[in-house]
């Protein structure tokens, strides 16, 4: 909530900063809240960032503790529950949890069968993981934005303790999944078509000529086009999810800033928050579904041995 | 909004979770679902088969019933025929027997008549002789006139 000690901008910024644990370089000047130099580091130090400036200064050698905690925690939550149900699954009349799980699995199995016509037992479990995991991570968005950060501030005794609860509003998380999908695409392409097949795919498409000397000229053009098309896949995957969730989270935060502005605005904000949450349920499931379907499509492309390749 | 190690952490957890769900979730559930699908398919098949069997059994029963009816009709026919035949035979037998009895009776009667005639004839001859004796008294020699008297008796 936008208290007296925090400006609205500060409040928003606080909500958008991850709990970052990383390495600050030697010689870095740590500032306290009033902007004075608090300490100068004499050596590289692994520590929690006290501000978004420090988090930025850590560069690549840092990790978002809150994102990882929530994403891994939620992943384990659903997988452990699913595994327990799955272990007791029987072919009799399904009841309760097993029924629910079978509905989800049946739905995903159907989606995979529609989009992926090759033999690979990993694709369906991967689709299940993506779908359930992203849904759960996105659903954290429906928890009122102040609850968990306020709770963590109370637990740690630090009112400025950073704690973001929606992992998918962290581009690292979404891009991490996007690039993993990308890596798997490359892996399956090479596994299916050989390394030369992969190279051919990058250089002999989309322009192709039967004359070899023309082909040589076309290779750089093809490569440029194909490289863009390949690299855009993981980035669009990651950024689409991130953008949607980040925007949604942002609106929740903006609505939350109204809570401190009097009774009338507060009630109005409550109504708005409820309405936005209802709308957001759609975004949550849709984004998870889109991510899953695109992954299936990319995997199918990776497995696709084109007829043309067989003649070369 | 910094890109950092979280990216790699997320990638590793993603791969791990995919493996985990492949190993501990998907297989078990799919197996259970496939088994159930098979059971249902088998059940439907069995139901189908049972339906067909029932139909066949009904057909068979109808056929047997029809055959039985036909057989019964044949038997009744034969029985009727046989009955009328027996009646006919009995009639024949009765008629023949009747005729035989009648013939026998007639023969008996004729025989009796003949015998009576014979007796009568002898009686008459005797009577005539006795009468003639009476009339003629001694004039007639029995041995001489016997032929004449016998001729007389035979003409009776």
Is A240 among the catalytic positions? yes
Chain A neighbors of B15, CB-CB under 8 A: 180
| Residue B66 located in a structural domain | yes
* Alpha-carbon B72 to chain mean position: 8
Residue B133 belongs to some domain of the structure: no
Q: Give domain status of residue A17, yes or no.
A: no
Parallel, antiparallel, or unpaired: how do β-strands A62-64 and A45-48 relate?
Answer: unpaired
Residue B131, domain member (yes or no): no
Domain membership of residue A208 (yes or no) is yes
pLDDT of residue A181: 95
A79: nearest CB among B3, B10, B25: B25
pLDDT, block means (10 residues), chain A with 312 residues: 60 85 84 76 83 84 91 93 89 85 92 91 93 94 87 85 89 94 93 88 81 84 91 94 93 87 86 93 94 94 70 45
**Is the CB of residue B60 less than 8 Å away from at least one CB of chain A?**
no
Q: Is some CB atom of chain A closer than 8 A to the CB atom of B21?
A: yes
Range of A185's domain?
134-311
Q: Is A88 a catalytic residue?
A: no
B135 lies in a domain? no
Which range of residues forms the domain containing residue B28? 6-111
pLDDT of residue A1: 42
Closest partner CB to B10 (pick from A61, A92, A172):
A172
Number of domains making up chain B: 1
Q: Flag whether A50 is in a domain.
A: no
Residue B37 lies in a domain: yes
Can you give the pLDDT at residue A310?
46
Give the pLDDT means over successive 10-residue stretches in chain B (156 positions): 87 94 90 90 95 95 96 95 94 94 94 90 82 71 73 76
B40 touches A: beta carbon within 8 Å: no
Shortest CA gap A216–chain B (Å)? 37
Question: CA A66, B2, A63 angle in degrees (round to 5)?
Answer: 40
**Could you tell me if residue B125 is inside a domain?**
no
Residue A129: its pLDDT value, please?
94
Residue B86 in any domain: the answer is: yes
> Can the peptide bond before residue B92 be classed as cis, meaning omega within 30 degrees of 0?
no
Tell me: ipTM over 0.85.
yes
Q: A240 Cβ partners below 8 Å, 6+ apart?
A: A287, A290, A291
What is the nearest CA distance from A47 to chain B, expressed in angstroms? 14
In this complex, is the C-beta atom of B11 within 8 Å of any C-beta atom belonging to chain A? yes
Number of domains making up chain A: 1
In a domain, A181, yes or no: yes
CA torsion through residues A115, A121, A127, A128, sign:
positive
B1:A62 CB<8 A: no
For residue A48, list chain B residues with Cβ-Cβ distance below 8 A: none
Nearest 5°: CA angle at A294, between A288 and A300?
Answer: 140
Q: Do the domain assignments include residue B144?
A: no
- CB nearest to A63's CB, from B4, B27, B39: B4
DSSP state letter for A309 = G
């Amino acid at each position: 909530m936008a208290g007296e000690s925090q400006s609205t901008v500060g409040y928003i910024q606080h909500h958008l900063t991850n709990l970052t644990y990383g390495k600050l370089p030697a010689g870095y000047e740590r500032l306290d809240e009033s902007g004075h130099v608090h300490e100068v580091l004499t050596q590289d130090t692994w520590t929690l960032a006290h501000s978004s400036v420090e988090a930025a200064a850590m560069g690549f050698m840092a990790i978002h503790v809150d994102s990882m905690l929530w994403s891994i925690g939620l992943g384990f939550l659903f997988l452990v529950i699913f595994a327990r149900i799955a272990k007791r699954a029987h072919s009799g009349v399904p009841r309760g949890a097993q029924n629910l799980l079978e509905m989800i699995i049946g739905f995903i199995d159907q989606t995979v069968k529609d989009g992926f016509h090759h033999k690979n037992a990993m694709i369906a479990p991967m689709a299940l993981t993506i779908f359930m995991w992203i849904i759960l991570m996105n659903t954290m968005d429906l928890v009122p934005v102040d609850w968990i950060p306020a709770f963590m501030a109370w637990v740690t005794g630090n009112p400025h303790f950073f704690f973001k609860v929606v992992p998918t509003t962290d581009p690292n998380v979404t891009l991490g999944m996007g690039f993993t999908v990308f890596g798997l695409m490359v892996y399956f392409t090479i596994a299916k078509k050989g390394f030369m097949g992969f190279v051919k795919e990058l250089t002999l498409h989309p322009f192709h000529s039967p004359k070899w000397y023309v082909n040589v000229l076309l290779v750089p053009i093809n490569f440029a086009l194909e490289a863009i098309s390949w690299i855009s896949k993981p980035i669009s995957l990651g950024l689409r999810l991130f953008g949607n969730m980040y925007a949604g989270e942002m609106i929740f935060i903006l609505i939350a800033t109204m809570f401190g502005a009097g009774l009338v605005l507060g009630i109005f904000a409550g109504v708005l928050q409820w309405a936005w949450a209802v709308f957001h349920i759609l975004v949550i499931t849709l984004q998870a579904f889109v991510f899953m379907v695109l992954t299936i499509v990319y995997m199918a492309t990776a497995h696709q041995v084109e007829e043309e390749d067989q003649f070369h | 909004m910094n890109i950092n190690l979280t990216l790699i952490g997320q990638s590793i957890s993603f791969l791990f979770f995919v493996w985990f769900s492949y190993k501990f979730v998907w297989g078990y559930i799919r197996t259970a679902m496939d088994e159930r699908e098979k059971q249902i398919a088998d059940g439907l098949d069995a139901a189908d088969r049972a339906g067909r069997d029932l139909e066949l059994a009904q057909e068979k029963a109808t056929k047997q019933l029809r055959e039985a009816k036909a057989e019964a009709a044949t038997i009744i026919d034969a029985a009727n025929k046989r009955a009328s035949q027996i009646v006919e035979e009995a009639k024949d037998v009765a008629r023949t027997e009747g005729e035989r009895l009648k013939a026998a009776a007639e023969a008996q009667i004729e025989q009796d008549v003949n015998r009576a005639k014979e007796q009568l004839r002898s009686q008459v001859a005797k009577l005539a002789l006795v009468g003639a004796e009476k009339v003629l008294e001694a004039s007639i020699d029995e041995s001489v006139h016997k032929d004449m008297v016998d001729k007389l008796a035979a003409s009776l």
